A and B are shown apart, each in its own frame.
Chain A
């Protein structure tokens, strides 16, 4: 074993890695946004026991949580194509990650919404506000604040799980690393490099969300 670790190699790979990082960030950002939207919609359907749709949302969550993400990705990329609804690798990836994160966010946000004091709903209703107003103006602003830590967890998982997309050829960070490894066999360098990059973006994401949480909670705390 006379493996020679080479920092210059990493340096040389930087432009490729940056290209991969860019795709990872775009895919993750889109998926995180969509997964929160899916979570808000499905959690609301659940909490308000909307006939039929509430059960559909429950089934969707159950399905996503009980099957491997890689299978979901393949299903969307290859399965939909064979049905004639083929999507590019990029959009298959965004769709798969959004649906995956959306299922977890449905549960996260459902938790947040059920933590909202029942009395607030009665107060809102007795002012003449309708359920949709209550949801938009009272329950979501309060419930979403409550579940920010859980949403952050899921967002971090979405970001990390974007590396699965290398399996369908999306040129994100892990794909780039695998690609270089296949050419140059610099395994240690490449996987250390992308490991550190994932670590840094997860740290940045967590810090940003914590800041946001403190900022949003401020009015509650000034007792």
Chain B
């Protein structure tokens, strides 16, 4: 019984999105999105600006409400009440373009805030966990500094560590390297690659196509609120089916 459950769990979907539609007023941002993401799967989402990529992943952890369709995360249907949304959110880490570290707290306190508030752990345990993940993202020596004292790349790695401290099963990334100076992009991508290799379920909105080739199981192309194309990285890059995908790829690969 226990065995079959854990096998179900392994084989089952981490995220299951059915018929998801969302409007801002009259404007339809997402149109009938269907998407299943298995445990341990890595999905890269790309597409032109304004196509709904951020909105889609923000629906997954309830940062945005949707009007139609159903989202299941780790087998739990995303409801509207704040308690159940908060529970889902604690299982789903999210990393933002602009890091969003808490500026009044040290790096260490940034990492222990949520676990100390939501999990039944002692300060010592929380700090040990935090140091473990700060070592993983290779900045344990910055633990007592404040966010403003760190470079963008370091701040983004702290943001990743801060999410990991909640031991999430899924990580969402919304253009995590778009706000970074070129020389800092690699350190963040390396951290993400490492995370991927450890089997984390990941959805990354990014235009880093090298990253997509290296770690993605599937690449999704979105345009005007729709999933236009979904394919393995090999097929996606070498043999895109949709004309709009071709156009998009030619634009971003030229630059």
Which residues of B sit under 8 angstroms from A126, Cβ to Cβ?
61, 63, 89, 92-94, 163, 172
Q: How many A residues are at the interface, by size bracket? A: 20 to 34
Q: How far is the CA of A131 from the CA of B114 in the complex (A)?
A: 13
Nearest A-chain residue to B88, judged by Cβ: A128
Interface positions of A (Cβ within 8 A of B): 117, 119-120, 122-131, 133, 137-138, 141-142, 145, 219-220, 222-223
Q: A222 CA to B148 CA in the complex, in Å? A: 8
Nearest CB in chain B: distance from A148 CB, A: 13
Please give, as numbers and ranges, the residues of chain B lying within 8 Å of A119 by CB-CB distance.
Answer: 96, 98, 100
- B106-136 residues with Cβ-Cβ distance < 8 A to A are 106, 113-114, 117-118
Chain B residue with minimal CB distance to A138?
A: B102
Q: Mark B63-92, 1 if CB is under 8 A from A, else 0.
A: 100000000000000000011001101111
Contact A129 B104 (CB under 8 A): no
- Which 6 pairs of residues, A with B, have the shortest CB-CB distance? A128-B90, A123-B100, A126-B94, A127-B114, A119-B100, A128-B89
Does B248 have its Cβ within 8 Å of any Cβ on chain A?
Answer: no
Q: Taking each of B87, B103, B113, which has the highest tally of chain A beta carbons within 10 Å of its own beta carbon?
A: B103
Which residues of A lie under 8 Å from residue B98 when comparing CB positions?
119
- Expressed in whole angstroms, the Cα–Cα distance for A220 and B106 within the complex equals 10
Q: Are B102 and A125 in contact (CB under 8 A)?
A: no
Q: Are A219 and B146 interface neighbours, CB within 8 A?
A: yes
B146 / chain A contacts, CB cutoff of 8 Å? 219-220, 222
Q: Are B148 and A129 in contact, CB atoms less than 8 angstroms apart?
A: no
Chain B interface residues (CB < 8 Å from chain A): 61, 63, 82-83, 86-87, 89-94, 96, 98, 100-104, 106, 113-114, 117-118, 146, 148-149, 159, 162-163, 166, 172
Contacts of A138 in B (CB 8 A): 102, 104
Given the known inter-chain contacts A145-B104, A220-B146, A222-B146, please indicate yes or no for A130 contacting B86, CB distance below 8 A: yes
Take A127-B90, A129-B117 as given contacts and tell me if A142 and B96 are in contact as well, using a CB distance cutoff of 8 Å: no
Contacts of A129 in B (CB 8 A): 86, 113-114, 117-118
Q: List 26 A-B contacts (CB under 8 A).
A: A119-B98, A119-B100, A122-B94, A123-B100, A123-B101, A123-B102, A123-B159, A124-B114, A125-B89, A126-B63, A126-B92, A126-B163, A127-B162, A127-B166, A128-B86, A128-B118, A128-B166, A129-B114, A129-B117, A141-B104, A142-B103, A142-B104, A219-B106, A220-B103, A220-B146, A222-B146
